[in-house]
Structures are given as structure tokens and as C-alpha cells.
Amino acid sequence: MTRKDAMDTLGDAPGTTTFDDVKAVVVTTLGVEDRADALDPSTPLLGSLPELDSMAVVELVVALEQRFSIAIDDEDVTGDVFETMGSLAAFVDTKLR
């Protein structure tokens, strides 16, 4: 089974989605465990989470690359991708396909 197949299987498991996995990476990387339950797909990221400064974006990109075994190019790191939790999860999902 390839890594992509494993991720597709994980994504299809009951209660586990790409969003849940991205959320876990965001929560751990930014240290916002106390607010994890409030994060949903519509939660704004850039400009709304004080923890998400430019250095944290770099850390988050690296953490997502490691967690999902994907490559995120510099030109992929845009305001649109990091606009909301949902847009970030959707971006990761496209990288997995």
C-alpha cells in the first residue's frame, strides 16, 4: 500500500477526515489546544489567530509536509490557502490526490 493509499484509507475511516488531521497539526503546531474544539472549517486563520505569524506559517507548512508526506511549494503559501481552516484542509486534500 502506498502512502497515498494509506492516507485515502485514513481519510475514509469513520470520524477521520483530512480536516480532522489538518486541525490536529494546526492545534499542535500553534499550541492552541485550549481552543481546539472551537476550530471548524469556517474558522479564519491569517489575521485572526495571533499565534499564526510568519514564522508559525513556516512551521505549519513543514509540519503539514511531514504529517501528510506532501511537498508544499513556496508559491502555494498564499493568503487564500491560509484564509480558513477549511481552505487549508482543502488545499492539503488536493495535494494528497
| Average pLDDT rounded to a whole number, residues 22-29 | 97
pLDDT in tens, 51-64: 999 999 999 999 99
Question: Could you tell me the CATH number of the domain that includes residue 85?
Answer: 1.10.1200.10
| Average pLDDT rounded to a whole number, residues 23-29 | 97
Whether residue 18 is predicted with pLDDT greater than 70 in this model: the reply is yes
- Pick from 1-10, 47-56, 59-68, 69-78: least confident: 1-10
Which own/partner pairs from 67-73 qualify as long-range (CB within 8 Å, at least 24 positions apart)?
67/21, 67/25, 68/7, 68/21, 68/92, 68/95, 68/96, 69/3, 69/7, 70/95, 70/96, 71/95
The total of structural domains in the chain comes to: 1
Which H/E stretch holds residue 28? helix 18-30
Smallest CA-to-CA distance from 19 within 95, 97, 86, 91 is with: 86
**Structural domain range at position 73:** 3-96
